[in-house]
Amino acid sequence: MIPYNNLNGYLRKTYGARLNKICIDGGFTCPNRDGRCGIGGCIFCGERGAGDHIAEKIPIGTQVKTYIDRFPGDVQFIAYFQNFTNTYAPVETLRQRYDEALIDPRIKVLEIGTRPDCIDGAVAELLAEYDKKYDVWVELGLQTANDRTAEVINRGYSRDVFERAVDILLKHGVKIVVHLIVGLPGETFDDFRDTISYINRFPLFGVKIHSLYVMKGTKLERMFREGSFKPQNMEEYVDSVVYALLHIRPDLVVHRLKGDCPPDLLVAPDWNRSKDEVLGRISDKLRKAGLRQGDMYGRP
């Protein structure tokens, strides 16, 4: 048995089966790229905004239908708005784009990746409306609780903005998944430990964790080539994730423990290609110690 509360386990318990994820490019942009709060974006962000697997400029309904048609029968789905900032538009535009995706009764979950500075009361009310019919998950890209690092990575908001967004979403009953990155420039293990202790303050639904990999064409690639950024090695990453799993709430749903970069865009580290090996090492380490998620929750 996997020694952590992984997403597939949650889905089987809740829906009786795994759900297939439809990754959707909703045609949004990002305030950290278009000048509203910054330009150039986060230093690790690729040209397609954290959704580099997706073909561009295809109508939302077509993206969904093309994917769903591959799975006739009893399969259920998650509609995942992945690229850029998927609450960055007027509420009526958001409603229209989400509706374009929700075209099949087998879609059970509406998952929306966004930034905390693009959550307000009106957006949360809209999401709460969808939550009456679907399971709505909002994924907030925090990456780190350290505001000094947030400046280095050009995140474009401070952590009090995250706290405000969490508060608004929780008041509207919307589930939150927090996104964290391990191995950010200048961060030590202590910084990551502080980030884990920080997220433990909030009644979140889930967490996604990945290592910082260098993608072609990003500012991080420049830093890597100049020698001002060195990626973690696999062992450091595994140790950090094991620490995180032991210290988060036992029931927090672990949505991901490893980010995938399209192979042709990956600059470094090479081990990022070995998803099965990384996940296997994380589980092995926990099993060998006879431990599982949450065993050290609330302890140093």
Q: Which residues bind ligand SF4 (CB under 6 A)?
A: 30, 32-33, 41-42, 45, 49-50, 84-85, 115, 141
Least distance CB 114 / ligand SF4 (angstroms): 8
Largest CA distance in the chain: 52
Q: Read off the tokens for 222.
A: 């420049």
In angstroms, give the least distance from the CB of 29 to ligand SF4: 8
Nearer to ligand SF4, 163 or 239 (CB): 163
Q: How far is the CB of 274 from ligand SF4 (least distance, A)?
A: 24
> Would you say how long the chain is, in residues?
300
Query: Closest distance between ligand SF4 and the C-beta of residue 293, in Å?
Result: 27
| Torsion sign over Cα 123, 128, 133, 139 | positive
For residue 50, CA distances in Å to 82, 178, 262 come to 7, 15, 11
In angstroms, the Cα distances linking 133 to 86, 121, 201, 234 are: 19, 20, 29, 41
Q: Is the dihedral of CA 187, 6, 138, 128 positive or negative?
A: negative
Residues paired with 76 in a beta bridge = 19
Cβ-based nearer residue to ligand SF4, 36 or 193: 36
- Identity of the residue, 150 or 253, whose beta carbon is nearer to ligand SF4 in the bound complex: 150
d(CA 11, CA 21) in angstroms, rounded, equals 12
Least distance to ligand SF4, CB of residue 88, Å: 9
Is 3 or 49 the residue whose CB approaches ligand SF4 more closely?
49
- CA quadruple 267, 272, 275, 279: dihedral, nearest 10: -170
Q: Tell me how far, at minimum, the Cβ of 62 lies from ligand SF4, in Å.
A: 23
Question: Parallel, antiparallel, or unpaired for β 266-268 and 253-256?
Answer: unpaired
Instruction: Give whichever of 11 and 150 is closer to ligand SF4, judged by the CB atom.
Output: 150
Question: Residue 57 class from Cβ within 10 Å (0-12 exposed, 13-18 middle, 19+ buried)?
Answer: exposed
Q: How far is the CB of 217 from ligand SF4 (least distance, A)?
A: 12
CA pair distance 300, 268, nearest whole angstrom: 32
| CB of 277 vs ligand SF4, minimal distance in Å | 26
Cβ(32)–Cβ(115) below 8 Å: yes
Residue 36 burial (CB < 10 Å; 0-12/13-18/19+)?
middle
Identity of the residue, 32 or 63, whose beta carbon is nearer to ligand SF4 in the bound complex = 32
Sign of the dihedral through C-alpha 38, 41, 42, 43: negative
**Whether the Cβ atoms of residue 238 and residue 285 lie closer than 8 Å to each other:** yes
With respect to ligand SF4, which residue has the nearer C-beta, 42 or 254? 42
Question: Which residue lies nearer to ligand SF4 by CB, 50 or 253?
Answer: 50
